[in-house]
Amino acid sequence: YHRRKNHRLAFGWHTRAVSVFVRAAAGYTADNDYKEFKAELERRNKDVRKKAAHFPADSEAHKLMMMNIVDIPSLERYKERHEFSLEREIIAHHELSRAFLAGYEAAVGRPWTQRENDRYFAALEGVPYRDFLNYATKLPGEHSQFSFFAHFARRMTEQSGQAFQLLWYIVFVVLFTIFLVSGRGLGETANMHVSLMELMETQQYKFPQVNKSDDQFIYVANSADWKGFMTDIILPTLYGTGVSVGAGTGQGPLPDLPTTAVGALRIRQVRTTDYDCRDDMTGLLDRDPAENSTTRAWYDTRIATFFPDQCPKSWSDSVFGDTSTFFGHGANATFQADDSIRQRVRDAWRFKGCADLGTSGSTGNDYYSFPCNGYALVIPLNVSEAEATADFNYIMNNNWLDENTVMLFVEVSYFHFAINAFARWKFQLYIDTSGGFEPFSQVANFVPWIGSEYSGTYVAFLVIYLINLFVQLCLFVWSMVVAFRANRAARMRPFRAFVSIFVYDVWIPINFVTFSIFIAVWVMRFTMMARSVDGMEIWDANRFVDEVDAQAGMYKNIDMLDAVTALVTYGRLVSFFNLIPSLGLLGRTIKIALPNMASLLFVFTMVFWCFVCIGHTIYGSVFWDFASVARTFASLSRVLLGDGLNYNELSALYPGYAGVYYALFVVICSFVIFNLIVAV
């Protein structure tokens, strides 16, 4: 016989013998007739000897067959010492299997590896050793409940490392969940946004609201509306008698006000390059504003920006931030501290034209002015409402807005007493090529470490996470060593044995990612702690608080990384599915279906992308939901989830085409491909 055939036959008899052994053991207890069970074993041994006689006595197959002979005298001695029951037979079978594997190594000359186990046992009759205890879940009668727990306990015994990891990991997941729930105010951003809007509405300046997507924005259609918005809402709110106006005034916030400003107000604009200037981003001449609408460079600067030789380095008493653009260019501009805002406006406005400004700064000067300037007005909080309004009206009356203005921003940093958090509120207006205004608003917020009521939770979780990190690293190193030794036992070279650990166990690189995220998050948290200020502290009232941007950005990144950590943390539980038979079966089923699911998902993605491109091409210039590829993708995804589009608007533009487009998308993507993925 061929060697492989002999192996298969021998292993088939081994597993068949195990089947008889287990079924016989399950049917007998100490009160049953042991003689009948012994007779069953003797008949099985006789049958094995009969089959083994077909092979030469010195052959490998004969040796393997004879290893399946049950030593009945040893079993009788075992019975005399222990009560004969199923749990005892589990132990007995474990010893029998160990003897079998040792006999295989002695007969064949090499150890029984996992690769051979998967290769041969999958094709054999009966039940392989690794699934031996699955019999317990199928046994009838009083043994069923006990057998399930025996199976689970046996799995934990065989994989004690994984079982310990699971128990520890469950504790950690519970603590991690408590941290996420108690240490996060998911409504903080919305609460601060609403509070500021409510504060504005107390000025009795009512704006109609326009719906864009699912958000609501204050309606500002032109420059006159925007000027009214500033003079009737923003400036009275920040500089009125009932609001704290910053350091040096002696005024405090009233108890009924939810917010107070903590830094200077900034009103700024983003501009295109003047069309008679050379665009320093491309080196090309811009010829007309309409052409600039697609290729223009947006310069985001301060009103303090002007020709460098008018701003010597010695005037460094008051620095008003950078003049960086969206493309990362820019520099700082300085002024004498006693210069009034109005004087600075005049000095800057004298160099409005590109011909006056020129295209380069003084040699050796660190300060640089763009040839085509944009402006921002920084109004300190320690001025009166009349002075702030006068400064704003001055720039507006001097044609601060012109044909090159493409965006307007109103930015204020404030402190929210209700939730003990800082925020920067930004109201922005996009001005299209036709002169129309489209408003947006956003809030960047963060809770200072020492100002947060959850700081104790953060510190406690840091200690817990450090303990978890140490335990996980120990288990991680231990599992790597075990896997490396197993690979070396399979005659792998050291380098291949090490690389195989990462290739065949996907959770090892995932652990690396988790540890890296942990380090990054807590480095940022310590940085925030070092930069934190007391909630009642008012930053420099003469400056716009740029530190809020850095802090809020770091806070946002921490939230995003915590979300990734939550995904990995809860997803890590999947690796323990093999400890429970039903979940292990589910995991293996999904694993088998993955190739087919990936193929269908690829087809689904291609078809879905086709509809995204078609929808954006046809409706992108008309409807908000199709205004960009990303919005089209999100809109069609909502259709798949049951949130339909406004079909009446689509059909009004292209009556016949809209029906075909919508029907094909719903039928092909929603009904067919999506359901095929679920079916597989």
**How do residues 540-563 score in pLDDT, each as one tens digit?**
666 666 566 666 677 777 778 877
Place of tokens 């095929």: 676
**Average pLDDT rounded to a whole number, residues 198-203:** 38
Which of 161-165, 254-258, 628-632, 648-652 has the weakest average pLDDT?
A: 254-258
Give the pLDDT band of residue 346 (cuts 50, 70, 90).
very low
Q: How far is CA 521 from CA 327, 421, 551, 658, in A?
A: 28, 19, 14, 48
CB 539 within 8 A of CB 547: yes
**Average pLDDT rounded to a whole number, residues 457-481:** 72
- In the chain, residues under CATH classification 1.10.287.70 are 589-679
Measured at the CA of 14, the angle between CA 12 and CA 15, to 5 degrees, comes to 70
Place of tokens 């197959």: 61
Q: Rounded CA gap, 487 and 494, in Å?
A: 8
* CA-based nearest residue to 428, from 641, 217, 598, 210: 217
Task: Give the global pTM.
Answer: 0.46
Q: Is 335 exposed, middle or buried (0-12, 13-18, 19+ CB in 10 A)?
A: buried
Tokens of residue 553, six digits = 């950005």
**Average pLDDT rounded to a whole number, residues 392-405:** 75
Q: Rounded CA gap, 161 and 183, in Å?
A: 32
Res 331: pLDDT: 32
Res 150: pLDDT: 43
Q: Torsions phi, psi of 622, nearest 5?
A: -120, -50
**Average pLDDT rounded to a whole number, residues 34-51:** 73
CB 678 within 8 A of CB 604: no
Per DSSP (E only), the strands in 301-398 are 318-322, 332-335, 376-379
Measured at the CA of 251, the angle between CA 246 and CA 253, to 5 degrees, comes to 85
Res 314: pLDDT: 30
For residue 299, give the amino acid letter: Y
Question: Cα 424 to the chain's mean position, in Å?
Answer: 24
- Mode of pairing for the β-strands spanning 299-300 and 265-271: antiparallel
Res 514: pLDDT: 76
Q: Rounded CA gap, 143 and 129, in Å?
A: 20
Give the pLDDT band of residue 367 (cuts 50, 70, 90).
very low
CB 261 within 8 A of CB 545: no
The yes-or-no verdict on residue 133 having pLDDT over 60 is no
Question: Cα 671 to the chain's mean position, in Å?
Answer: 29
Q: Rounded CA gap, 379 and 387, in Å?
A: 9
Q: Rounded CA gap, 281 and 298, in Å?
A: 10
Contacts of 242 (CB under 8 A, 6+ apart): 254, 257
Give the pLDDT band of residue 4 (cuts 50, 70, 90).
very low
Q: Torsions phi, psi of 407, nearest 5?
A: -145, 145
User: How large a percentage of the chain has pLDDT more than 90?
Assistant: 0
The yes-or-no verdict on residue 129 having pLDDT over 50 is no
**Average pLDDT rounded to a whole number, residues 107-119:** 55
Question: Cα 600 to the chain's mean position, in Å?
Answer: 25
**b/e sequence 444-467, b meaning 16+ C-beta within 10 Å:** bbbbbbebbebbebeebbbebbee
Res 147: pLDDT: 40
Count the Cβ atoms, other than its own, within 10 Å of residue 438.
15
Tokens of residue 141, six digits = 């009668």
Q: What is the dihedral of CA 222, 223, 225, 231, to 10 degrees?
A: 170
* CA-based nearest residue to 259, from 191, 195, 202, 194: 195
The yes-or-no verdict on residue 333 having pLDDT over 80 is no
Place of tokens 């010695």: 314
**Strand, helix or coil at 295?**
helix
More confident residue, 475 or 218: 475
H helix or E strand, kind and range, residue 423: strand 421-431
Inter-axis angle of helices 507-531 and 455-489, nearest 10: 150
* CATH entry 3.40.50.720 includes domain 589-679: no
Q: Rounded CA gap, 265 and 677, in Å?
A: 54
